């Protein structure tokens, strides 16, 4: 077991670890929890707008298009935004998946409503990114058979903090030759039904990282990020698939953690 990982994972933190967050217009994408968080405000206080129910409805009416636009702009994989999946052309989702994605756009919920001293109303909405895009992940799942190894790794931790990496739902980690080592298609469908292919954290000491990758993970280092949401491993770490029995099983079971910069 990696000594640093053991020491870091047993530290007692004064507060919760910070999530990986990407700021967007009107809110943010929490890549650690795979949630889109959008806020809207109605603070008109004249005439009929003084009625709190009118203010609430106005905030709700603002949220719907904001969430739709923000959700479609989410990066699905290195080559496509979520909006690209709605296309009937090559690269789009199968028709049955498109219908489910379209229905899922209305699955957001209100997390908090705040009533302001001036009579206005603020609302925070949450949209579950993984749950929404899960049908597309499942349609692509084509893992090869893997065999658990008794003394194999419990997971994989990829350190990409020194790269210019942009998170997405379905990232790819490649060797220097471009061969995929970590890819959403290699994750079992039953795993994808309950969680995203990888977990994003800012620090390997995050308790969520230990929970996902286990107590004996493999540590590898990304040499660089190419385009959006793709990592190339160093030449030495690119041999991990051949040199570490059980690596493929860890990937297939979604026990992958990507450590990234804020």
Confidence bin at 10 (pLDDT 50/70/90): very low
Can you give the length of the chain in residues?
262
Helices 95-104 & 129-140, crossing angle to 10 degrees? 170
Question: pLDDT of 231-262, one tens digit each?
Answer: 999 998 888 776 677 888 899 999 999 999 98
Percentage of residues in the chain with pLDDT exceeding 70? 88
Question: Would you say residue 188 has pLDDT above 50?
Answer: yes
Percentage of residues in the chain with pLDDT exceeding 90? 70
Q: Which of 74-88, 153-167, 183-197, 243-257 has the lowest mean pLDDT?
A: 243-257
Question: pLDDT of 92-140, one tens digit each?
Answer: 999 999 999 999 999 999 999 999 887 789 999 999 999 999 999 999 9
Question: Would you say residue 172 has pLDDT above 80?
Answer: yes
Confidence bin at 7 (pLDDT 50/70/90): very low
- Rounded to an integer, what distance in angstroms lies between the CA atom of residue 58 and that of residue 65? 12
For 160-184, give the secondary structure using H, E and C: CCCCCCCCCCCCEEECCCCCEEECH
Pairing between strand 155-159 and 180-182? unpaired
pTM of the complete model beyond 0.85: yes
Q: What is the pLDDT of residue 12?
A: 34
Confidence bin at 148 (pLDDT 50/70/90): low
Give domain limits for the chain: 3-14+143-259, 34-139
Place of tokens 């080592």: 181
């Amino acid at each position: 077991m990696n000594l640093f990982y053991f020491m870091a994972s047993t530290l007692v933190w004064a507060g919760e670890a910070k999530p990986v967050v990407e700021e967007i217009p009107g809110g943010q994408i929490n890549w650690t929890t795979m949630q889109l968080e959008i806020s809207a405000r109605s603070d008109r206080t004249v005439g009929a707008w003084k009625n709190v129910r009118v203010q609430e409805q106005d905030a709700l009416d603002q949220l719907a298009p904001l969430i739709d636009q923000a959700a479609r702009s989410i990066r699905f994989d290195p080559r496509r935004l979520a909006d690209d999946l709605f296309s009937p052309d090559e690269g789009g989702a199968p028709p049955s998946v498109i219908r489910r994605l379209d229905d899922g756009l209305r699955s957001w919920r209100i997390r908090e409503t705040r009533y302001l001293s001036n009579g206005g109303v603020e609302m925070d909405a949450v949209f579950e990114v993984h749950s929404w895009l899960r049908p597309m992940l499942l349609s692509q799942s084509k893992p090869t058979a893997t065999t658990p190894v008794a003394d194999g790794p419990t997971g994989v931790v990829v350190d990409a903090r020194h790269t210019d990496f942009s998170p997405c739902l379905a990232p790819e980690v490649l060797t220097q030759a471009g061969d995929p080592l970590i890819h959403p298609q290699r994750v079992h469908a039953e795993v994808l039904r309950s969680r995203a292919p990888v977990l994003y954290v800012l620090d390997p000491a995050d308790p969520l990282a230990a929970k996902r990758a286990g107590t004996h993970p493999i540590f590898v280092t990304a040499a660089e990020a190419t385009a959006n949401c793709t990592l190339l491993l160093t030449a030495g770490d690119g041999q991990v698939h051949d040199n570490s029995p059980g690596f493929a099983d860890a990937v297939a079971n979604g026990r992958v953690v990507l450590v990234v910069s804020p």
